[in-house]
Amino acid sequence: QAGLADTCSVAQTPGHDLFGYVGIEAVLDQMRRKTMKAGFEFNIMVVGQSGLGKSTLVNTLFKSKVSRKSCSPNYEEKISKTVKLQSVSHVIEEKGVKMKLTVIDTPGFGDQINNENCWEPIVSYVNEQYERYLKEELYVNRKPRIPDTRVHCCVYFLPATGHWLRPIDVEFMKRLGKIVSIVPIIAKADTLTMEERQEFKQRIRQDLKANGIRVYPQTEYDEDPEDRILNDKIRENIPFAVVGTDKEHQVNGNKVLGRKTKWGIIEVENVAHCEFTNLRDLLIRSHLQDLKDVTHNIHYETFRVRRLNESNLTGESEGWREKNRGGE
């Protein structure tokens, strides 16, 4: 007996001009209302040695006290004698849009005399969040909305040495770049002259290329020519040279975020002074959703396929599914 697929064919026709209003575009309003009602999650990890202004920069990015130093952490795990992972979460609301922001900090990273393998606790943490999400997906009775603790972006703070990448920088970014989107930045860039800053940025780009380090946004993820044009401009300026502060000063009668020095005030949001606005636009205004998409469709998917293949090879899959049957 012939099936329905054998007796019917689907006509593929090019788009036509409508001769009346249908209301298709209203789906965008529906999606917007649904998203605004549910809110969304964004998880950002900050990595770098002490004294580079990680907490200050995060507070400046989101214009609120969201760093671990501003409040008590809701998660803390001491994974080794040197590196701890701490996370704090806040719900930020702007114009009716709610975002649950989680900031994961790594105090102790790179602060020891011997920093061998200091990236391993961070790699473990990232993979643990993928594992947690995968287990939730495999429940027979899944939650309507799986809590997302996966790291959507890792901002890596480079000290403004003016030289080249250090071995710890190369090793960390080579390993983490395979499992999470990394955005390297030059911290406290006001300690360099403009000429030193440009030379340092060029050296870092050379080092990244020479060592095969993958930083966000990767060229292979460009979806169309328009994306490529935008992302090429970003790639030309990475790493962003930034200055962070949560203090306001008067400049020409206006209040601006800035750092006061003996030479004057460095305006954080002035592109002539630093590239903070480029970083903010990348992380929030232009690529936030793409960072989440790359996490889910690329990094998590790679982990999921590998993990399920391992489970099938070891015979773990059935036991795992049976253990999780019925959910929690």
**135, 309 in Cβ contact below 8 A?**
no
In eight-state DSSP terms, residue 50 is T
| CATH class, range 29-324 | alpha beta
- Contact between 128 and 258 under an 8 Å Cβ cutoff? The reply is no
pLDDT tens, per residue, the chain with 328 residues: 555 545 555 555 566 677 788 888 899 888 888 888 888 999 999 999 999 999 989 988 988 877 655 555 555 554 444 578 999 999 998 888 899 999 999 988 888 767 888 899 999 999 999 999 999 999 988 888 899 999 999 999 999 998 899 999 999 999 999 999 999 999 999 899 999 999 999 999 999 999 999 999 999 888 889 999 999 999 999 999 999 887 888 788 888 888 888 778 888 888 888 999 999 999 999 999 999 999 999 999 999 999 999 988 776 655 555 555 544 4
**What is the spatial distance between Cα 107 and Cα 110, in angstroms, rounded to a whole number?**
9
Q: Judging by beta carbons within 10 Å of its beta carbon (0-12, 13-18, 19+), is residue 202 exposed, middle or buried?
A: exposed
Q: Could you give the CA distance from residue 273 to residue 241 in angstroms, rounded to a whole number?
A: 9
DSSP state of 268: T
Query: Would you give the DSSP letter of residue 70?
Result: G
Q: Which residues contact 278 (CB under 8 A, 6 or more apart)?
A: 234, 237, 240, 271
Domain extents in the chain = 29-324
CA angle 142, 144, 146 (to 5 degrees): 75
pTM of the shown model? 0.84
